[in-house]
Amino acid sequence: MSPLHYQLSLHDYRSHRFAITLIIDQPDPNGQLLRLPKWIPGSYMIRDFSKHIINLRATTFDGEALAVSVVDPAHWQIAPHQRSIKIHYEVYAWDLSVRGAHYDQQHAFLNGTSCFLDVVGQSEQPHSLDLLADEWALQQAWSVATTLPKLAVNEQGFGRYQAATYAELIDHPIEIGSFTELRFDAGGIEHRMVLTGVHDADLERIAADLAPICAAQLAFFGQPTPFKHYLFMVMVTGNGYGGLEHRSSTALMCSRESLPYPGMDQPHDKYLEFLELCSHEYFHSWNVKRIQPAQLQQSDLQSPATTQLLWWFEGATSYYDLLFLYRAGTIDHATYLNKLAEQLTRVYRMPGRFQQTLADSSKQAWTKFYQQDENAPNAIISYYTKGALAVIALDLTLRSHTQGQKNLDDLMRMLWQDYGIAEQGLAENTIELLASDLAGCPLDDFFNQALHSTNDLPLDELFAQVGIQFSLRPPYANQDLGGPHPKANQPDAKPYLNLGAAMANTPNNSIKLTHVWLDRPAHRAGLAGGDEIIALDAIRMSNVAQLDAYLQRRPLGDRLTCHYFRRDELAQTEVTLDLPPADRVVLSAHKSCHWPEK
């Protein structure tokens, strides 16, 4: 047994609690300090996982009680003892997300950051873990899925695991239950997906579609591969969406309808989104799990770690996740460009891009991107979407400086070879230096504009060099996400008239404004996020579809009387319909266009 040993037992699914015993062979003779992370890598928010630790006590190996004092919400101090000690506690697991821990009669899912106390001073020691089933888990024939290295486990995966360090222990989430499962080979490496929750997915279809995406990424980065095997852990729910990357696995949440069904022909949009999510988290195995900002590597997970490089780690990963659907043959070139246009539209629709630079977006992720409120579209810009835009502009800039000899792929591979393999952290300016090196000249102007100014990058000029016409047009429908639209070719087509607000139906048969865009009709009329519209022109409006249809019957410039509730107070205003801005991106390729390469 290693100097640090955890036992996790599936204590009681009814109270959603794991029971954990931690054995410390050589505690600090002056009294052992214990702590729990306040955040989980990849998700930049203080989550205070310690709030779910219950009934923590300490004993000698023989069971004699030792005093425990709470130092602060995330630290515990154990009374001095010269020999082995045991720490006993429970974890309340009722957070159905990829970031926490969840346990009920259907399954158990856990991240180490929620469950395993860090023994201060011994984080670099080996950490072993016994996973113990209870009667219910045995009755239900539950098994374990995790990439945590196995020492001695039974056929169901219960038994002993061992991690080389604390950081490794918390980077292998664990799923336990009666999941469905698929396996495939990519690049000679075994890949496995386990799906928990009610679903009717065509597993063979997922394997057939995902294998070429993984194989293309493995081939792109070349040897050495970062892992010996890989696991996708998918929680299927009614409307979930999200993912979190780990060193050889990912935890994903998706909706039932995003999965393929037996007999499905062409992949539908939601399924493409699911494949893109898988592709995204898989790409992170290189870009952020091994190629890492030094600022994140140095974190003890107790306070926010700040870097300006999230634009690269999430922007480049967002750019490549879709690109690998094209490179793997999941989508054709036209579909690729249309999806890319939709991605770029998500930047051009945000007035906040004129308020926050990309570098600041990254540095303020903790307080702004992860704590978005009703003003978010007007105040911030996402380092995912604008980061992807900047990465595309960087690719096109590298090409133009090198007569097409160098591009973003060269930069990405260089990062893997020179930094990722050795896990050498990136300084805040490493990307800029490497890119300038590749370009053969300083790219200060480019990076100043892309990262430190709020001016739009000259995408029209940059795309023109590779035979793509970049243009902007107004919206023609409520769900117009960008890309080509049949109405765009009709000279007298009327744009989709709207209030310039995001809206949702309420149970009161009214319409709630969730976000109000600056300098659009709702804003100019004094409406705000949270307001509930009940009538236009003294006609009751019961839902968003009805309001939408009413607006489309009105002429441009029309003035409408609007009745609404702010909190519980009835108010009235006048809304003037304006010409919606041209903020939907269209990318049209000339026949000669070979961008991006397959």
Alpha helices (runs of H) in 100-247, residue ranges in sequence order: 112-115, 135-139, 166-169, 203-221
| Minimum distance from residue 314 beta carbon to Zn ion (Å) | 5
User: In terms of CB distance, is 32 or 43 closer to Zn ion?
Assistant: 43
| Minimum distance from residue 282 beta carbon to Zn ion (Å) | 11
User: In terms of CB distance, is 137 or 309 closer to Zn ion?
Assistant: 309
User: In terms of CB distance, is 314 or 531 closer to Zn ion?
Assistant: 314
User: In terms of CB distance, is 358 or 525 closer to Zn ion?
Assistant: 358
Q: How far apart are CA 386 and CA 44, in angstroms?
A: 18
User: In terms of CB distance, is 314 or 480 closer to Zn ion?
Assistant: 314
| Minimum distance from residue 245 beta carbon to Zn ion (Å) | 6
| Minimum distance from residue 301 beta carbon to Zn ion (Å) | 18
User: In terms of CB distance, is 149 or 304 closer to Zn ion?
Assistant: 304
Give the x/- contact pattern for Zn ion in 266-305, rule: CB under 5 A.
----------------------------------------
Which backbone phi and psi does 102 adopt, to 5 degrees? -145, 140
Residue 231: HSE in the Cβ half-sphere, 13 Å Cα cutoff: 21
Q: In the numeric block, which tokens belong to residue 379?
A: 């105040």
| Minimum distance from residue 29 beta carbon to Zn ion (Å) | 43
| 3-state SS assignment for residue 4 | strand
Where b means 16+ CB within 10 Å and e means fewer, 323-359 reads bbbbbbebbeeebbbbbbbbbbbbbbbbbbbebbbbb
State the number of binding residues for Zn ion (CB under 5 A). Answer: 2
| 3-state SS assignment for residue 500 | coil
| 3-state SS assignment for residue 510 | coil
- Contact indicator for 312, 431 with CB cutoff of 8 Å: yes
Nearest Cα to 234, choosing from 202, 205, 196? 196
User: In terms of CB distance, is 292 or 317 closer to Zn ion?
Assistant: 317
| Minimum distance from residue 280 beta carbon to Zn ion (Å) | 6
Residue 299: Cβ-neighbour burial (10 angstroms; 0-12, 13-18, 19+) = middle
Q: How far apart are CA 249 and CA 242, in angstroms?
A: 14
The residues with which 561 forms a beta bridge, in sequence order, are 574
Q: How far apart are CA 306 and CA 387, in angstroms?
A: 16
Give the x/- contact pattern for Zn ion in 174-213, rule: CB under 5 A.
----------------------------------------
| Minimum distance from residue 61 beta carbon to Zn ion (Å) | 43
| Minimum distance from residue 383 beta carbon to Zn ion (Å) | 10
Q: What residue type is assigned to position 68 of the chain?
A: V
* Axis-axis angle for helices 408-415, 430-439 (nearest 10): 130
User: In terms of CB distance, is 80 or 304 closer to Zn ion?
Assistant: 304
| Minimum distance from residue 319 beta carbon to Zn ion (Å) | 11
| Minimum distance from residue 244 beta carbon to Zn ion (Å) | 8
| Minimum distance from residue 183 beta carbon to Zn ion (Å) | 25
DSSP string, 317-374: HHHHHHHHHHHTTSS-HHHHHHHHHHHHHHHHT-GGGGTS-HHHHHHTTTTTGGG--T
Q: Looking up tokens 């609404």, which residue turns up? A: 564
| Minimum distance from residue 235 beta carbon to Zn ion (Å) | 17
Q: In the numeric block, which tokens belong to residue 464?
A: 């023109």
Longest CA pairwise span in the chain (Å):
85
- Count of CB atoms situated within 10 Å of the CB of 14: 10
User: In terms of CB distance, is 116 or 324 closer to Zn ion?
Assistant: 324
Q: How far apart are CA 591 and CA 571, in angstroms?
A: 56
- Contact indicator for 503, 513 with CB cutoff of 8 Å: yes
Which residues within the stretch 527-546 sit at the binding site for Zn ion (CB under 5 A)?
Answer: none
The residues with which 438 forms a beta bridge, in sequence order, are none
User: In terms of CB distance, is 313 or 447 closer to Zn ion?
Assistant: 313
Which residues within the stretch 304-343 sit at the binding site for Zn ion (CB under 5 A)?
Answer: 314, 317
Q: How far apart are CA 257 and CA 462, in angstroms?
A: 38
| 3-state SS assignment for residue 256 | helix
User: In terms of CB distance, is 162 or 382 closer to Zn ion?
Assistant: 382
| Minimum distance from residue 455 beta carbon to Zn ion (Å) | 26
Nearest Cα to 326, choosing from 467, 462, 216? 216
User: In terms of CB distance, is 314 or 432 closer to Zn ion?
Assistant: 314
User: In terms of CB distance, is 122 or 317 closer to Zn ion?
Assistant: 317
Q: Looking up tokens 């050795």, which residue turns up? A: 422
User: In terms of CB distance, is 175 or 314 closer to Zn ion?
Assistant: 314
| Minimum distance from residue 284 beta carbon to Zn ion (Å) | 6
Nearest Cα to 281, choosing from 241, 321, 236? 321
- Which helix (H) or strand (E) segment is 521 a member of? helix 521-524
User: In terms of CB distance, is 319 or 326 closer to Zn ion?
Assistant: 319
- Contact indicator for 326, 598 with CB cutoff of 8 Å: yes
| Minimum distance from residue 283 beta carbon to Zn ion (Å) | 8
Which residues within the stretch 118-157 sit at the binding site for Zn ion (CB under 5 A)?
Answer: none
Which positions lie near Zn ion, rule CB under 5 A?
Answer: 314, 317
